[in-house]
């Protein structure tokens, strides 16, 4: 434990992004934020850390076990490093923007840090891009969040997207109607999380048969909706089912090509959600590209508001997005004027400028990973450098 660490060694779940990957991430995030901006979602930028009491209030309480905490040496109060940006945006809406017109559309992009990773997502530092629609309670708001999330990913060139819909309050409504709580409720939740039908039958008490049919109903929307419709649900659960049907109908109209599946018992990662929620997947991806859904915005100190939204994860998005075309790099030898360099950059080149006079310009250009070089006032492709074939630099 006392041996010196290698300077490149990082804590588990953290990593460096090297030039090409970092450039791709910046480009992808910029394109995603442009989509959200186009739909009227105004960008906000919450701080990296907040006072623990505020950060973990309201919806943020669900992230308590994932939040790093430390003592602020200035205020002598405990602060937390954000593990999710949605509760922060909800706080901003309830405080700084409490008088703004509703529905309020806000977007964000940034990094979060979590205490531990998961099997599918071992990263503990995660890039998030997201949008929150606050102050709207209808099915149209649910559909807007899902449709914009899908469009944001589609514009990046990600094909064969699918959305998995879930109802985090459906199982609690059934358990409440059957008087199930405490340890039995926890056992049921664990069985459902692991899709363990045998364990569910043994622990489901009076709701075992209904919950078993609910578990078996998961699947493509064309089979899941009829299976759910056949269930005799208590009133609160039936209302959740009706909302699901309304959202599916509107979603078919808004994004007819979208593949939809339903898992009515999925709850992991949706602990603070209160209605229609969803995950977005791409064929071949190792984990969900993003997730979202309905929740209550407010931290207990301000009036609660209905809200929905989504968060896209840049690490999993980057794993499936087609590699963007990078601008060509051109070596500019020492002595070229600043105006000539500006003209090259304006034309879309990335310029790499030499600092000393050189005799082997092509060799130096290749060493610095440039595909072209300015030689004798001409733009020359390195494959043609020996023959000095090229075009004049504009303005010379």
With cut-offs at 50, 70 and 90, classify the pLDDT of residue 386: very low
Q: Please, where in the chain does CATH 3.30.930.10 lie?
A: 7-167+266-326
Residue with the larger pLDDT of the pair 390 and 194: 194
Mean pLDDT of the chain: 91
Please write the tens of the pLDDT for every residue from 35-58: 999 999 999 999 999 999 999 988
pLDDT of residue 388: 46
pLDDT of residue 393: 60
- What is the 3-class SS of the chain, one letter each residue? CCCCCCCCCCCCCCCCCCHHHHHHHHHHHHHHHHHHHHCCCEECCCCCEEEHHHHCCHHHHHHHHHCEEEECCCCCCEEEECCCCHHHHHHHHHCCCCCCCCCEEEEEEEEEECCCCCCCCCCCEEEEEEEEEECCCCHHHHHHHHHHHHHHHHHCCCCCEEEEEECCCHHHHHHHHCCCCHHHHHHHHHHHHCCCHHHHHHHCHHHHHHHHHHHHCCEEHHHHHHHHHCCCCCHHHHHHHHHHHHHHHHHHHHCCCCEEEECCCCCCCCCCEEEEEEEEEECCCCCCCEEEEEEEECCCCCCCEEEEEEEEEHHHHHHHCCCCCCCCEEEECCCCCHHHHHHHHHCCCEEEECCCCCCCHHHHHHHCCCCEEEECCEEEEHHHHHHCCEEECCCC
Flag the least confident range among 216-225, 236-245, 316-325, 382-391.
382-391
- Residue 387 predicted with pLDDT over 60: no
- Residue 224 predicted with pLDDT over 70: yes
Please write the tens of the pLDDT for every residue from 146-192: 999 999 999 999 999 999 999 999 999 999 999 988 888 889 988 99
pLDDT of residue 322: 87
pLDDT of residue 1: 54
Please write the tens of the pLDDT for every residue from 340-382: 999 999 999 999 999 999 999 999 999 999 999 999 999 999 9
Please write the tens of the pLDDT for every residue from 69-91: 999 999 999 999 999 999 999 99
With cut-offs at 50, 70 and 90, classify the pLDDT of residue 118: confident
Entry pTM: 0.90
Q: Domain 7-167+266-326 has what CATH class?
A: alpha beta
pLDDT of residue 2: 64
pLDDT of residue 392: 57
């Amino acid at each position: 434990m006392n041996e010196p660490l290698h300077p490149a060694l990082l804590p588990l779940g953290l990593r460096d992004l090297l030039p090409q990957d970092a450039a791709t991430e910046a480009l992808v995030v910029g394109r995603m934020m442009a989509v959200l901006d186009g739909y009227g979602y105004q960008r906000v930028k919450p701080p990296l850390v907040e006072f623990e009491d505020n950060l973990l209030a309201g919806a943020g309480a669900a992230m308590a076990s994932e939040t790093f905490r430390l003592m602020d040496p200035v205020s002598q109060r405990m602060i937390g490093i954000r593990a999710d940006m949605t509760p922060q945006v909800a706080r901003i809406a309830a405080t700084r923007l409490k008088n703004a017109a509703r529905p309020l559309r806000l977007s964000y992009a940034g990094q979060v840090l979590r205490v531990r990773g998961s099997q599918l997502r071992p990263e503990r530092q995660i890039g998030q891009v997201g949008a929150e629609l606050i102050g709207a309670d209808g099915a149209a708001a649910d559909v807007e969040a899902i449709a914009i999330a899908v469009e944001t990913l589609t514009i990046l060139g990600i094909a064969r997207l699918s959305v998995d819909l879930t109802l985090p309050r459906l199982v609690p409504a059934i358990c409440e109607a059957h008087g199930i709580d405490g340890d039995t409720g926890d056992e049921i939740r664990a069985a459902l999380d692991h899709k363990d039908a045998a364990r569910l039958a043994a622990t489901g008490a009076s709701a075992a048969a209904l919950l078993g049919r609910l578990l078996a109903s998961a699947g493509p929307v064309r089979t899941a909706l009829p299976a759910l419709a056949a269930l005799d649900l208590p009133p609160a659960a039936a209302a959740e089912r009706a909302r699901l049907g309304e959202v599916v109908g509107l979603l078919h109209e808004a994004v007819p090509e979208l593949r939809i599946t339903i898992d009515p018992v999925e709850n992991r990662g949706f602990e603070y959600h209160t209605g229609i929620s969803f995950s977005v997947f791409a064929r071949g991806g190792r984990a969900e590209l993003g997730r979202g859904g309905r929740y209550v915005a407010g931290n207990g100190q301000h009036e609660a508001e209905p809200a929905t939204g989504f968060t896209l994860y840049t690490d999993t998005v980057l794993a499936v997005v087609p590699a963007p075309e990078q601008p060509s790099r051109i070596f500019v030898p020492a002595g070229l004027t600043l105006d000539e360099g500006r003209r090259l950059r304006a034309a879309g080149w990335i310029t790499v400028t030499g600092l000393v006079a050189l005799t082997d310009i092509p060799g130096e250009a290749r060493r610095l990973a440039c595909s072209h070089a300015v030689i004798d006032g001409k733009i020359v492709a390195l494959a043609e450098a020996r023959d000095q074939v090229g075009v004049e630099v504009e303005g010379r």
